[in-house]
A and B are shown apart, each in its own frame.
Chain A
Amino acid sequence: MVEAFAVASGKGGTGKTTSTLALGMALADDHDVTVVDADTGMANLLFHAGLAEADPTLHDALVDETADVREATYDRFGMCIVPCGTSLAAFEAADPERLRDVVADLAADADVLLLDSPATLGSKAAVLPVVLADRAIVVLQPTVPALSDGLKVQEYALSYGTEVAGTLFNKVHDRGADAVETADRYFEGPTLAEVPDSDAARAARAAGEPLLAHAPDSEAAAAYRRAANRIDVRGGDGEAVADRFRSAVIPDPP
C-alpha cells in the first residue's frame, strides 16, 4: 500500500524542502512515510534533517546498482529519510535512471513516498520524479516567477499522467493572501495550505531540524499539519507500484 508524491516547484527558494519534511512529519502520524531527496544535483534535504554527515546516501545507490538503498535510509523524526549527498563527483557518477529502481525498492516498505524534486524542468533527470510519482504537490509562493514556474510544473505533471494533489503556498504575507485565492483558479486540486512567512522555517533550517520538530507550535507548522490532513492518501498495491516504477520506459540518452 503506497502512494508516491513528487513535491515540486519550478523555482528554487520556494521552501520546497522545508515543505517536504513538514508534510512528511505530519503524515507520519498516520502513515509509514519515506522521504527521498530526489534533487540529486542540488541536494539539501540532509542539512534540513540533521543528516549532513550521513554516509552512505542516495548517491551511492544511484552509482552502484548492487548497493541497497535501505542502507542509505535513516530513521529520523518518525520518518524514514533517504538523503542525497552533495559531492559533485558522486552526482556525475550517479545514474539518475536508477531512481526508478530505488523508488520501487522503497515503495515496498512505505505507505507514503515523498520525493523532494529538483526545482527545475531542465533535464530528464530533473523531470523524472514528477513522471514517477502518482501525484504532485506543487509548492508556490505569491511571486510572478514562482507562480509562472508552478504552472509549468503542473502542466508537465499532467502531461505525464501525474495528477496534482494540490498546491501549497509558502511565504504568504498579508496582501499575498488575495493572490492565493485568485491563483487557485488556475491550479488543479485544492490549496492545501497557506503557510505564513515566518522566521521559524529559517531557524529550523539553521538548526538542522524539520520545522515540525523545531517549532511544532508555530503558525507555519500548524499550516503544514492542515495541509497533510487535506491529502487523502490512496493506498495503491505496493507491488504494482513497484512494477510500474521499474517498467517506466526510459531508454539511455542519445
Chain B
Amino acid sequence: MNVPEGDLQRSRVVADAAVPLEAALDRRLTGYLALRPADPLAPDDSGGIITVEDGVPVVAYHDGTERGGTAALGPLADSGPYRAELYAAEAADLAAVHEVEELRVAPGSPAEQVADAPDLARRARERAPAARESADDDDAVEAFLADEDRIADIKRRARAEAERRAAEWGLDDAVDAGER
C-alpha cells in the first residue's frame, strides 16, 4: 500500500496498540500509524499501517500477509508489542488510498480488533463523520463474514480456551459431555 511520506510525530515501543491509536485520536492526527513488531529480529514486512483522518482510522494494511481492510486487523493484532510511529500527512495526499474500498475499515474496528479497547472504539465512532459509520460497519461485517479462515480460527481458539479453562475450573465432566 502506498502512503505519502509523512512527518514523524513520535516513535515509541508500546505493548498495546491502544496507545498510538489513542494518541492519534487525542491529537486529531491526519496521517498514519506505522506498527511494527518491537522485536528487532522480526522480519521487515511483519508490520502494517493504519491511516487516520482527524484521528479516526480510515484504511488498514498488513505488509506480511498483504491483506487490507478488516482482514489486516487480525495479523496486526498478533504483531505486538510494537514499535509505533505516528506520522502527519496532508489529507489531500491520503485521498487516493482512502478511496480504495478493499482497504477501508470501520472507525472503531482497529481499536476493537487490534487493541481490544471498546471504549476507544466508541470514541473513534463518535468522532467519525456520521455518514461513515453505518456504511463502514456494514462493510466490516461483510468482510468479517467472508473471511472463513478467520472465523475458523476464532472457533478453534474458543474451543481450546473453553477446554483449558474447564480444567482450571474443574468442569472437566462438562467437557467430556461435550465430546460424547
Contacts and interface: CB of A to CB of B under 8 A. Distances in A.
Interface of A: 124, 127, 131, 142-145, 147-148, 151-152, 154-156, 158-162, 173, 175-176, 178-179, 182-183, 186, 248-251, 253
Nearest to A182: B145
B174 interface: yes
A160 B134 contact: no
Interface of B: 70, 106, 109, 112-113, 118, 134-135, 137-138, 140-142, 144-146, 151, 154-155, 158-159, 161-163, 165-166, 169-180
Contact of A158 (B138, B141, B172, B178): B178
B158 A175 contact: no
Contacts of A152: 154, 158, 161
A118 B109 CA distance: 24
A160 B164 CA distance: 12
A1 to B, nearest CB: 21
Nearest to B105: A144
A148 B141 CA distance: 10
A156 B157 CA distance: 10
B162 A155 contact: yes
Contacts of A160: 162, 166, 171, 174-175, 177-178
A156 B162 contact: yes
Contact of B155 (A131, A142, A155, A176): A155
A51 B138 CA distance: 37
